[in-house]
Amino acid sequence: MSEPKTISLNELSEYRGQLVKIQGWVHGIRGSNARQFLSLRNSGRILQVLAEKELLGEETFSEVKHLKQETSLSVTGKLVENEKSPIGYELVLESFRKIGESENYPITPKDHGIDFLLSQRHLWLRSSRQLAILRVRDELSFSIRKYFHERKFTLIDTPILTGSIGESAGTLFSTEYFDLGSAYLAQTGQLYLETAIFAHNKVYCFGPTFRAEKSKTRRHLTEFWMLEVESAFVSHEQNMELQEDFIQTVVKQTVQACLPELKVLERDPGPLLEYMERQFPRIDYKDALEFLRSEKEDIVWGDDINSEREQMLVRKYGGPVFIQKYPREAKAFYMKVNPEDPRTVLNADLIAPDGVGEIIGGSEREENYSNIVKRLEEEKLPVESYEWYLELRKYGSVPHSGFGLGSERLIAWICGLSHIRECIPFPRMMERLYP
């Protein structure tokens, strides 16, 4: 008789009714003196393995009953359909072999504090909730790349180490760079990404980004993954149209692919999908201020619209909303001044409901050389460090626009999470660098 085929939990439908071998880890175990139900984890999924004393015999059944959490196994049995199973199948155990023992696994079914779980993050990733979140993250990352690949955007990998400041000098991580002085961990790939539109027209990058903000809010990480997009010959209005289509497309695709994971997370995707069928309202910063003042908010021109105020606005408009044309002095040097109101720039933030807040920031970029030099000087940034960036405005400058998306915030929205620390495998925060 031939050896059963070793399979993963990602290919069960191909082997239903067959004798198969699966290697994995004991996620949990429960049962009676006659039957034990073993949860086996493999490929980020969990399969129920039915162990029956009558089939296995007293000795083997006793060994199954005393298996410890996270022991690694190789199990052999018949794969049968089971409508009650989250993945539609279970395995009727015929034999098993231990691969690696596990004693006193620290994360048990009881409640643990978040600080303990973060310190055990290397093990916490194995839990059902974390399995689901990271599978959503994987699916979203694939959908993002698929979206831009299908629309003929070119992926440009921008540098992590840079000598230029893209956002605020106060939020930089610096390091010594050989004999050349200080280098910085990139706050954004945008400036480098803009160089590529003159070669490829439509480009994007997707990678780690670093902000040394001394912030402990549930919406901030010091290291996160950011999607950035730049397009030549695209206006501010066209930029918002692209953002809206992008969000609606990738959210719908991710939700559809991750319904079992969202069920584990107890996330009803219905309201989220309803948002994806509507056009996102676009309101000016000045109109947002007027509304907030009518709600007795003490806010003046130039003030930030904080997270509480953002949620007041999404409640008013019944879902995601673009807030556009912020005060010039509150935004980065590369944003184009609004010709209809020079106090403002042609930018927009996309604000999500459910407590998520800003998920996208974008703008039309300033294409005029003199205007950018003036803004750099106003910001007291060293013009000479941006000479390469300024040269883009010398040799065939064109109107262009772009935006950035923090992927962890979008994952939190899709999963219905209150804190983005669970949306990345190893969160880096002000007070945490371990593990």
Residue range 278-310, pLDDT digits in tens = 999 999 999 999 999 999 999 999 999 999 999
Nearest to 235 by CA among 144, 362, 386: 362
What tokens were used for 139?
Answer: 């699916």
Residue range 383-408, pLDDT digits in tens = 998 999 999 999 999 999 999 999 99
pLDDT band at 169 (very low <50, low <70, confident <90, very high): low
> Are 80 and 204 in the same domain?
no
CATH code at 312? 3.30.930.10
> Are 96 and 122 in the same domain?
no
Structural element, H or E, at residue 210: strand 202-210
Final residue of a domain: which of 49, 75, 100?
100
For residue 167, pLDDT beyond 70: no
> Are 65 and 209 in the same domain?
no
Q: CA 386 to CA 187: how far, in whole Å? A: 15
| pTM, entire model | 0.96
Final residue of a domain: which of 73, 100, 127?
100
> Are 279 and 387 in the same domain?
yes
> Are 53 and 128 in the same domain?
no
Q: Identify whether 123 is part of a domain.
A: yes
Q: Is 39 helix (H, G, I), strand (E, B) or coil?
A: strand
What tokens were used for 47?
Answer: 């399969």
Q: Is 358 exposed, middle or buried (0-12, 13-18, 19+ CB in 10 A)?
A: middle
pLDDT band at 124 (very low <50, low <70, confident <90, very high): very high
Q: Is 348 exposed, middle or buried (0-12, 13-18, 19+ CB in 10 A)?
A: buried
Residue range 310-335, pLDDT digits in tens = 999 999 999 999 999 999 999 999 99
Non-local CB neighbours of 245 within 8 Å, separated by 6+ positions: none
pLDDT band at 109 (very low <50, low <70, confident <90, very high): confident
What tokens were used for 179?
Answer: 């004999």
> Are 170 and 255 in the same domain?
yes
Strands 282-284 and 321-324: parallel
Q: Identify whether 106 is part of a domain.
A: no
> Are 270 and 236 in the same domain?
yes
> Are 218 and 79 in the same domain?
no
State which amino acid sits at residue 158: T
pLDDT > 70 fraction of the chain, expressed in percent and rounded: 98
> Are 54 and 163 in the same domain?
no
**Max Cα-Cα span within the chain:** 85
Q: CA 115 to CA 323: how far, in whole Å? A: 36
Residue range 237-265, pLDDT digits in tens = 999 999 999 999 999 999 999 999 999 99
> Are 270 and 368 in the same domain?
yes
Residue range 128-166, pLDDT digits in tens = 999 999 999 999 999 999 999 999 999 999 999 998 766
Contact call for residues 169 and 381 (beta carbons, < 8 A): yes
For residue 1, pLDDT beyond 70: no
Q: Identify whether 107 is part of a domain.
A: no
Q: Which domain holds residue 20?
A: 12-100
- H helices, E strands: number in the chain: 14, 17
Q: Identify whether 312 is part of a domain.
A: yes
Final residue of a domain: which of 42, 72, 100?
100
Q: CA 36 to CA 40: how far, in whole Å? A: 12
Contact call for residues 409 and 350 (beta carbons, < 8 A): no
Share the mean pLDDT of the chain: 96
pLDDT band at 110 (very low <50, low <70, confident <90, very high): confident
Q: Identify whether 4 is part of a domain.
A: no
For residue 377, pLDDT beyond 80: yes
* Cβ neighbours around 143 below 10 Å, total: 19
CATH code at 37? 2.40.50.140
pLDDT band at 86 (very low <50, low <70, confident <90, very high): confident
Count: domains in the chain: 2
What 8-state DSSP symbol labels residue 345?
A: B
Q: CA 370 to CA 376: how far, in whole Å? A: 10
Q: Identify whether 39 is part of a domain.
A: yes
Structural element, H or E, at residue 321: strand 321-324
Full DSSP string of 224-258: EEEEEEEEET--HHHHHHHHHHHHHHHHHHHHHHT
Q: What sections of 101-189 are H helices per DSSP?
A: 114-119, 121-124, 128-150
Q: Identify whether 38 is part of a domain.
A: yes
> Are 125 and 218 in the same domain?
yes
> Are 251 and 373 in the same domain?
yes
Q: Identify whether 7 is part of a domain.
A: no
